[in-house]
Structure 1
Amino acid sequence: MPAPFDTLLFWLLAGIGVILTGISKSGFAGGAGVVAVPLLAFAVPLPLAAVIMLPVLLFMDIRTIHLYRKHASLATLKHLVPAAFVGIALGGSVMGMLSTAALELITGVISIVFASWQWISSSLQRFQQAGWFWGTVSGVTSTLIHAGGPPINVYFLGRNLPKLQWLGTAAVLFGVMNLTKVIPYSLNGFWELRLLLVSVLLLPAAWLGVQLGHGIQQRIGGDTFTRICRVLLMISGAGLVVKGLFFTSVV
């Protein structure tokens, strides 16, 4: 599959997506930074976008775990990790079976749902304590488009976790999940040397995003940042739905 890594569009979308993801992971438990893969999918096929982001996310995980590991809740992790493994297995199976167009449609719909999370989450309050459910959903969405934050944040919200415990638990959980996702990505034959090289070139943007997020979370509540990410996610999600329906087969 051709990957136009030499285009300005790719590096612009990649830079924006990686920096926003880094800010979100280290400052807001990953809940808002799900825009990287949907943005990159406008420049490269969606599976390639997901593969490029995985090493970048692992790099971010090392930093965020270092920052917040002392605040992680072991009891919460024991409850969520097994369910997340089930979700990763399901997501990996889906990713290997579906066409790029189908994945773009699914990604677009997921993006729109997550962009609308503020308005629909109230109807899901009665399910907030179902850790097995949110852990599994997070595993699926994390595998497909690295968007495991919003489902987990619904669960954390229901448990009223303190801010630092929220950040620490999310950091460790997503570190475990991202490391585990290497397995389904390998089984599906997605790894290529050129993609790893692109990931390495994006690491400075990842470092910058994590540093910015750590500083931002000490100063603001994150509402403005979250709103910006929701708008980007809604636009990119709608664009992917259109692209999957009408343009993928001819691109």
Structure 2
Amino acid sequence: MTVESQLASPLFWLLALIGVTLTGISKSGFAGGAGVVAVPLLALVMPVPLAVLLMLPLLLAMDIKTIQYYRQHTSTAELKKIVPAALAGIAAGGLLLGKLPVESLKVLLGGLSIVFALWHRLAPILGQMKGAAWLWGGISGLTSTLIHAGGPPINIYLIAQRLPKLTWLASAGVFFGVMNAVKVFPYLMTGHWTRELLALSLALLPVAIFGTWLGRQIQGRISEQQFVLCCRLLLLVSGLLLIAQVIAGSR
């Protein structure tokens, strides 16, 4: 399907509006807990590599707005632990673009997310074990580069740190902002980015901004306990979506 045909497709716009809005809500309301939803939805009407490229400018815009909302609450100490690991993961992901069996990665990440979301006692084990920041930060950088699914692994780490809600949102916003900015370079090397695709991203920019605004409104109306519960629920949903995408693709 060409970009021109997508512009004329009601199904594309319906799926794009839903996926981008939910991703925006997730970014500013739940630290990216359901950020994997847009690519699977868009993959129903366009190739996955193009869906990934389409989303990156929108993710960057969402990150910028999230940072604007919460920057005064950022934990520099946490970012110093996880950002270097994420950059290493992005470098590895850039080398593996188009080479790694993405389906296997989705199943592994999805299964881990589901188990962690349902088994609360895993938090202190997986999120606070020695080298946890490097492990989950690195995996987040890798999966973010390959399939825009950096949210589940880093939230496994952040849940275990028991950060205040706004500190969690602010730190995650900066973390994802740095990652998505760095990902521009390996994505440019793929040669698949076109002016038409960038124009399509630009057309969806107001939707991304609206979703981010809506997420901020939602998080302001829930307690710390409800926030953690929602993040666990979104981690579960993310895991199920990743596995469902593999199952659907194998048919």
Structure 1 residue 124: deviation in Å?
5.7
**Whole-Å Cα distance in 2 between the matches of residues 204 and 215 of structure 1?**
17
Aligned to 2:87: 85
Q: Say which SS state the counterpart of residue 219 (structure 1) adopts.
A: coil
Tell me, yes or no, if the aligned pair for 2:110 and 2:238 is still in contact at 8 Å.
no
Among 119, 130, 133, the alignment partner of 1:131 is 133
Equivalence map 1:224-239=2 (5 Å):
227=233, 230-231=236-237, 234=240, 236-239=241-244
**Whole-Å Cα distance in 1 between the matches of residues 112 and 45 of structure 2?**
22
Aligned to 2:249: 244
Q: Any idea what the Cα deviations from partners look like across 1:63-115, whole Å, max 9, x if unmatched? A: 111111111111111111110011111222222325xxx43564466446545
**Whole-Å Cα distance in 1 between the matches of residues 135 and 157 of structure 2?**
9
The residue identity in structure 1 corresponding to 2:249 is G
Aligned to 2:162: 160
Q: Say which SS state the counterpart of residue 163 (structure 2) adopts.
A: coil
Residues 35 and 52 (structure 1), Cα distance of their counterparts in 2 relative to 1, 3 Å cut? same
Equivalences, count = 242
Structure 1 residue 145: deviation in Å?
2.1
Aligned to 2:69: 67
The residue identity in structure 1 corresponding to 2:175 is L
Tell me, yes or no, if the aligned pair for 1:38 and 1:240 is still in contact at 8 Å.
yes
Q: Any idea what the Cα deviations from partners look like across 1:191-231, whole Å, max 9, x if unmatched? A: 11111011011111101101110000011235569757855
Equivalence map 1:72-221=2 (5 Å):
72-98=74-100, 102-103=101-102, 106-107=105-106, 110-111=109-110, 113-114=112-113, 117-119=116-118, 122-123=121-122, 125-129=124-128, 130-220=132-222, 221=226
TM-score if structure 1 supplies the norm length?
0.86
Aligned to 1:249: none
Percent of residue pairs bearing the same amino acid type:
50
**Whole-Å Cα distance in 2 between the matches of residues 132 and 224 of structure 1?**
25
Aligned to 2:33: 31
Aligned alpha-carbon RMSD (Å): 2.4
Specify every segment of 5 or more residues in structure 2 that has no aligned partner in the other structure, as ranges. none
**Whole-Å Cα distance in 1 between the matches of residues 180 and 104 of structure 2?**
23
TM-score if structure 2 supplies the norm length?
0.86
